[in-house]
Amino acid sequence: MDHNPILVIGGGPAGLEAARGAAELGYKTLLVEKAGVLGGTPIQADYAALTPDMENTEVAMKRMTDAVEDDPLVDIRMETVVTGASGEVPDLTVTLNGPSGEEQVQVGSVIVATGFQHFDPGRETQMYGYYEYDDVITLVDTERMLKAGNFVRPSTGETPKRVCFIQCVGSRDRQIGNQWCSKVCCGIACKEAIEIRHMVPDCQVFVFYIDMRMYGFWEDEIYWKAQEESKVSFIRGIVTEITKRGDTVVVKGEDTTKGRPEEVAMDVVILSVGKEPSAGTVQMAEIFGLPLESHGFIETTGGALNTVATSVPGVFAVGASVGPADLEDSVSSAGAAAMKAAGFLRKHALANA
């Protein structure tokens, strides 16, 4: 069947899975990645291990990148961005801008997999002093240290004795404007807490939370494990501010189940930052004429039973471009979009035969 390729935008877990799936169905696929490396945020942000199964990120993502690199039906364009689109699928003209300059290509269908960006904890308020105190870091900074196998206090390079996580930073917060739950931060905090306890067994680890959102098997496979095996302490209550006292950072919060406010000194505070739509996601929405939903992600139009259709037929959006998503969500929606994009092209081909 002769057809224009399926354009997959973004080479993260969702984009890789969409490209692999479309190619395995026998459709030509054009995979466009802005960065110089495939693997998306897990690779670019140096994730140590994936949540929830704790598989080494490089090993896991290499399986995905190998699958597209080894498939002759996938045409991969690195360091390339989509800058414009005109016409309609299945004969849409897309402008690409890459190392060899601008280029126009015809595509038959589009899968947007441009993902999310981590919330910047200094974006709205400075209550947590992220840019002020070296020992206040994020989940992402922690991944980097865990990957390097060296979890230390950034201010001194010493091994920490007391570490805490603060959940829901940049999520579930009307003041900040992000009312959604970012879905994965509870699980990632548990995963990192387990890793820290393994790496630094003498270090006490606390998690300040509103409610632990550990759905499905995440419940006993990482949350209970953190609590029961790694002896991580979970304290229901969110820290209101972080101050500096001597050479420690002091967190001030209420232990709501004990019903009293406390100030506790920590060596390292880890902010569990949430997800926001990435700049690329917002740009692709504009280029392809896709309305954003009320939270600022790309709007899907199929309700609960069709998670990837957008208001433009033949253009699909997957993974964290349509809302907070864990890896399971991302690759599952990517598979669904590959199938729907292939179906879209096949229907057109049959209609014109």
Partner 1 sequence: MDAIYADAKYQEVPREEKQRLFDEVKADMRWNETLYGCYECGICVAACPSARFYDFSPRVFAQVMAREDVDSFYELLNDSVWDCSQCFSCTRCPRQNNPGGIITIMREVAVNNGLTSAKDALQAYSRIIYKVMSTGTQVAPDMLQPDFFPDWGPDVVAVADNLDVWRRMVPPETLHTTELAWDVSEKTRLELYMIWKLTGNLEMIEQIDEGIFMILEEVMEELLEENGYDIDDFESVID
Among 26, 37, 86, 231, indicate the residue that binds partner 1 (CB under 8 A). 231
Question: Cβ of residue 212: shortest distance to partner 1, in angstroms?
Answer: 7
Radius of gyration of the chain (CA): 22
269 binds partner 1 (CB under 8 A): no
Among 83, 100, 104, 257, indicate the residue that binds partner 1 (CB under 8 A). 257
Question: Cβ of residue 50: shortest distance to partner 1, in angstroms?
Answer: 23
250 binds partner 1 (CB under 8 A): yes
Among 103, 158, 247, 262, indicate the residue that binds partner 1 (CB under 8 A). 262
91 binds partner 1 (CB under 8 A): no
CA separation for the pair 241, 256 (Å, rounded): 16
Alpha carbons within 13 A on the beta-carbon side of 173: 20
265 binds partner 1 (CB under 8 A): yes
**Which of 79, 95, 127, 128 lies closest to 7 in space, CA to CA?**
95
Among 123, 236, 295, 346, indicate the residue that binds partner 1 (CB under 8 A). 236
Applying the rule CB under 8 A, the residues between 37 and 66 that interact with partner 1 are none
Question: Cβ of residue 125: shortest distance to partner 1, in angstroms?
Answer: 23
CA separation for the pair 34, 97 (Å, rounded): 9
DSSP 274: -
| Alpha helical stretches, state H, the chain | 13-24, 40-44, 57-69, 139-147, 185-199, 218, 224-228, 279-287, 327-351
Question: Cβ of residue 49: shortest distance to partner 1, in angstroms?
Answer: 22
166 binds partner 1 (CB under 8 A): no
Q: Of 131 and 224, which has the nearer Cβ to partner 1?
A: 224
What's the length of the chain? 353
100 binds partner 1 (CB under 8 A): no
264 binds partner 1 (CB under 8 A): yes
CA separation for the pair 239, 262 (Å, rounded): 10
**Which of 296, 330, 268, 267 lies closest to 8 in space, CA to CA?**
330
Instruction: Give the footprint of partner 1 on this chain (CB under 8 A).
Output: 162, 206, 212, 224, 227-228, 231, 233-236, 245, 250, 255, 257-258, 262-265
